[in-house]
Structure 1
Amino acid sequence: MSDYVLTALGLMLVFEGLLPLLMPQAWRETFIKMVTLKDGQLRFVGLISIVGGLLLILLSK
Structure 2
Amino acid sequence: MWNDLFAAIALVLVFEGIMPFVNPAKWRQAIRLIAEQPDVALRIMGLTSMLAGAALLYVIR
Counterpart of 1:12 in structure 2 is 12
CA distance in 1, matches of 2:21, 2:55: 26
The aligned runs of 1:1-61 (5 Å cut-off) are 2-61=2-61
Moved more, 49-58 or 35-44: 49-58
The share of aligned pairs that are identical, in percent, is 33
User: How many residues are matched?
Assistant: 61
- How far apart are residue 56 of structure 1 and its match? 2.1
CA distance in 1, matches of 2:23, 2:6: 26
Moved more, 2-11 or 46-55: 46-55
- What SS is found at the alignment partner of 1:37? coil
What is the Cα-based RMSD across aligned positions, in Å? 1.4
User: Structure 1: 5+ residue runs without aligned partners?
Assistant: none
The TM-score normalised by the length of structure 2 is 0.86
- What SS is found at the alignment partner of 2:52? helix
- What SS is found at the alignment partner of 1:46? helix
AA in 1 matched with 2:25: Q
The TM-score normalised by the length of structure 1 is 0.86
